[in-house]
Amino acid sequence: MTQRRNRRASLEDRWRKGIRGEHASFQAIPRANDGKGMRWRARYLDDDGRRRAKGFAPQLGRTEVARLRNHGEIRNGNCIEPSAGRVTVATVYQSWFPTQAHISAKTASSRRSAWNSRVEPKWGDTLIADVRPAAIRAWGAAMVDDGAGTPTIENAFGVLRQPLGAAVEDSRVPRNPCDGVRHPKRKHSDRGYVSHEQVAALASAVGRQGEGVRFLTFTGLWWGEIAVLRVQDFDMLRRRVNVSRSVTESGGLVWSTPKSWERRSVPFRQRCATNWRR
């Protein structure tokens, strides 16, 4: 094993040195300290620019060296300080969640619920360095066995994956153990469509709210969008309604932009009768 160096890290075999032979073949030559002490020595710079070193015992050397190289810790100059991963998943989550100011209140509430019910009971006290892909797969399989739906599993998986991704960015762990772990695919059921006659029958059955039923049906607006419409949003000459706001209920009413953050103009008819025509 030859010594490998770059700007930030290097890996040294203290027992052997490598040379090239007559026909460019690699040869390992014993050194003076052959068989003494730790065989492998990793040198690197921590986040504060201080030089660090870590030794590996000979019986663990092959496994540890392979892990370092496969994860790019030495090859790419990103050797992770061992103590960096000695924090729990709960600690990482608590520092990550407040940074998600860009998400909606409803999404934040959904992620908080997934953390409290699914993620924290399983992973909260686990050190991030000890989270393994096999354990994550087993966790997902257990949720399937418990009857959890695919959206629930996806949400829980995301609440674990994203904080661990932040830990990778902070150089706490070399890679995200969630990478490559698959969860069940969604099963799309057949959509049901109603006829104009069925819409008219429903509108008649609800009485005074019949026009609301017709408007929702024939415009395709979400309930949170129609609930905040104002008179000024309607262009009666062009028979279009401008959708620019929405409201959701998440611990109270939360006002926001429409779904997908896009304003749009939607056509409507003044009368939505059984003989609907475009």
Got the DSSP string for 150-199?
Answer: HHHHHHHHHHHHHHHHHHHHTTSSSS-TTTT---PPP-PPPPP---HHHH
The pLDDT of residue 152:
92
Query: Per-residue pLDDT for the chain (278 aa), expressed as one digit of tens each?
Result: 333 334 455 677 778 777 666 555 666 777 877 777 777 777 766 656 677 777 766 655 555 555 555 444 444 445 566 677 889 999 999 999 999 888 877 788 889 999 999 999 999 999 999 999 999 999 999 999 999 989 999 999 999 999 999 998 888 888 899 998 988 887 777 778 888 899 889 888 988 788 888 888 888 888 888 888 888 888 888 889 888 887 776 666 666 666 655 678 888 876 543 343 34
* Predicted local distance difference test score (pLDDT) of residue 216: 85
Cα gap 100→70, rounded to integer Å: 31
Domains of the chain in sequence order = 4-79 (no CATH), 89-169 (1.10.150.130), 196-267 (no CATH)
Q: DSSP string spanning 112-132?
A: HHHIIIIIHHHHTTSBGGG--
pLDDT given at position 137: 94
Tokens found for residue 275? 């003989």
Please state, as a whole number, how many other Cβ atoms lie within 10 Å of the Cβ of residue 69: 14
pLDDT reported for residue 62 = 55
Task: Indicate yes or no: pTM above 0.75.
Answer: no
Alpha-carbon distances of 126 from 7, 88, 108, 134, 205, rounded to whole Å: 33, 5, 23, 14, 55
d(CA 15, CA 166): 37
Q: What local confidence, expressed as pLDDT, does residue 277 receive? A: 39
Question: Which tokens belong to 219?
Answer: 């415009």
| Closest-CA residue to 79 (of 5, 136, 149) | 5
Kindly state the helix (H) or strand (E) to which residue 43 belongs, with its residue range: strand 40-45
